Chains A and B, each alone.
Chain A
């Protein structure tokens, strides 16, 4: 063992074998499976359900849109969650999709975001309670929302006042990834201008979007995050239908004037969003939910508990 003035790492004289810990962990995790909770927020008719089904390449959820004339125009935002387990190469992913139908569809949308924020906080709350229980489970079931996909209507103008209000509230409690829905109604020029405008507005309102910069990031992570931040909001098109393009079967939409290939990067940014959510940042979304949002919630709660406990003690003393 040689030690320099600069603490250098000891050199191993022979193979120890602890490098197998990564595959030991992998084996354990494969057995346990992973949990990913994603929430979709946006006005009805923006293709939320279709996009989820397109990202995970399977029919997971049905659209909640109003289709029958005798269905009431929804009065409240009812939050539904659906769990499906999908398997890929032996990796089990338990997907929990939380839909928030009815948001922004009423004449008066005052406070329609409250049930959504409450739902997110309730999951943190429930997790905290389970953690604090004396006899707690070995693995607490995680229902905390790891990612909130926020759907922006493709108006081509700017964010709406309701979008700004909700984005502000959401980014305080959850990882928010904004997408421009049904972007096939925007020409490329319009899309570029619209994105630029949205970015300016978000910057103006100091809306903090995922991914967040971290001290742990190396150059590669930083570069990746910067390219993601450049792309956000993702201009997407979803489709569960397939069409044949150049002999290949792809997911797309067929119009009288052309064929939109969802998986073509020149048509829309679906591939980027899909890769971002599932291939590069899936683990980070789960981790930052626990380490940033949950921690923040937890410390506020525990502080509040401590303070109310102290207040009660003081009241006792005075009596």
Chain B
């Protein structure tokens, strides 16, 4: 409910939203970012020389900012890409890098809040949601998936998505989604699951959030090119056996996720980040310093 009020208030000023995207290379992460923004935000990977394939480059954290216009509403979207995650032989280090980045943004807010003279041009770089790309194995979650979501969910809204979901038939996709959610529940991973209050919220909100929750993890297909289908121009992937359309909700969940992130649930994600995740971090950090002082 709160997100609707927020929208009306700030429509003129526009919104700021920061989204992080994490997943092993080759799962369509970069293409997704470009598809989301409908622009070449992240440059296509330069054809590296073949002598680079064995080099473990380690994870890099790269923010890109785009100005979007969503039905007249201006959104300043920052997408933080994390190339290199999961690509090394030992990926332990990747987790620390991401966690460190998220916590540094919180630290910046913390120190800004405590300043006597505030900086009028201070930029809030906190990340409001993390899309985690799950490999479409057809089995269940892998160790790295569980570890990442578990370790990062205390600091950020984690939304699991399936990259390159066009590798599944409809039955395989439904089975995989079910198994992933069972796994998430079994391991007590507190992902962002479009929370609603069955007592307090209106029916529309309940329906909307239930539907989005049932789509988890979102099946994504990314595509930057347009092709002709029956005289229409669509964003899609052409296979010898047919064409997958990115914006077709029968083919994948891209359109629904995009609407949730940039319209219906933008405020909710920001509020949870500020009122809950940041607050927890702040409390933990300040209690730690208090403990250190008293020793």
User: Is A187 close to B, CB under 8 A?
Assistant: yes
User: Is A192 close to B, CB under 8 A?
Assistant: no
- B residues 228-254 near A (Cβ < 8 Å) are 237-245, 250-251
Identify which of B146, B167, B187 gathers the most chain A CB atoms within 10 Å of its CB.
B167
User: Is B100 close to A, CB under 8 A?
Assistant: no
User: Is B164 close to A, CB under 8 A?
Assistant: yes
User: Is A121 close to B, CB under 8 A?
Assistant: no
Contacts A45-B137, A67-B179, A160-B87 given; indicate if A73 touches B251 (C-beta within 8 A). Answer: no
Give complex CA distance A44, B142 in Å. 9
A162 to chain B, nearest CB (A): 5
Identify which of B45, B92, B144 gathers the most chain A CB atoms within 10 Å of its CB.
B144
User: Is B48 close to A, CB under 8 A?
Assistant: yes
Interface residues on A, range: 35 or more
Q: Of all chain A residues, which has the CB nearest B147?
A: A107
Q: Of all chain B residues, which has the CB nearest A108?
A: B90
Interface residues on B, range: 35 or more
**Chain A residues with Cβ under 8 A from B24's Cβ?**
155
Stretch of A82-90, A250-258, A311-319 at the chain-chain interface: A250-258
User: Is A222 close to B, CB under 8 A?
Assistant: no
Q: Mark A77-110, 1 if CB is under 8 A from B, else 0.
A: 0000000000000000000000000000111111
By secondary structure, the B interface counts as: loop
- A residues 158-214 near B (Cβ < 8 Å) are 158-162, 164-165, 182, 184-185, 187-188, 197, 200-201, 203-205
**Chain B residues with Cβ under 8 A from A106's Cβ?**
143-144
Give complex CA distance A43, B138 in Å. 12
User: Is B89 close to A, CB under 8 A?
Assistant: yes
Give complex CA distance A200, B88 in Å. 21
Q: Mark B79-109, 1 if CB is under 8 A from A, else 0.
A: 0000000011111100000000000000000
**Chain B residues with Cβ under 8 A from A37's Cβ?**
none
Contacts A155-B25, A200-B50, A203-B50 given; indicate if A258 touches B90 (C-beta within 8 A). Answer: no
User: Is A260 close to B, CB under 8 A?
Assistant: yes
**Chain A residues with Cβ under 8 A from B26's Cβ?**
153-157
By secondary structure, the A interface counts as: loop
The answer to whether A44 and B137 touch across the interface, beta carbons within 8 angstroms, is yes
The answer to whether B136 and A45 touch across the interface, beta carbons within 8 angstroms, is yes
User: Is A261 close to B, CB under 8 A?
Assistant: yes
User: Is A58 close to B, CB under 8 A?
Assistant: no
User: Is B55 close to A, CB under 8 A?
Assistant: yes
**Chain B residues with Cβ under 8 A from A105's Cβ?**
142-144
The answer to whether A73 and B166 touch across the interface, beta carbons within 8 angstroms, is no
Q: Of all chain A residues, which has the CB nearest B221?
A: A185
User: Is A31 close to B, CB under 8 A?
Assistant: no
The answer to whether B53 and A158 touch across the interface, beta carbons within 8 angstroms, is yes
Contacts A157-B26, A253-B169 given; indicate if A107 touches B144 (C-beta within 8 A). Answer: yes
Contacts A164-B54, A165-B54 given; indicate if A158 touches B48 (C-beta within 8 A). Answer: yes
Q: Of all chain B residues, which has the CB nearest A188?
A: B240
Contacts A182-B167, A257-B243, A258-B242 given; indicate if A161 touches B140 (C-beta within 8 A). Answer: no
**Chain B residues with Cβ under 8 A from A157's Cβ?**
25-26, 45
User: Is B285 close to A, CB under 8 A?
Assistant: no
B240 to chain A, nearest CB (A): 5
**Chain A residues with Cβ under 8 A from B55's Cβ?**
161
Give the B-binding residues of A (Cβ under 8 A).
43-47, 63, 65-71, 73-74, 105-110, 153-162, 164-165, 182, 184-185, 187-188, 197, 200-201, 203-205, 253-261, 264, 266-267
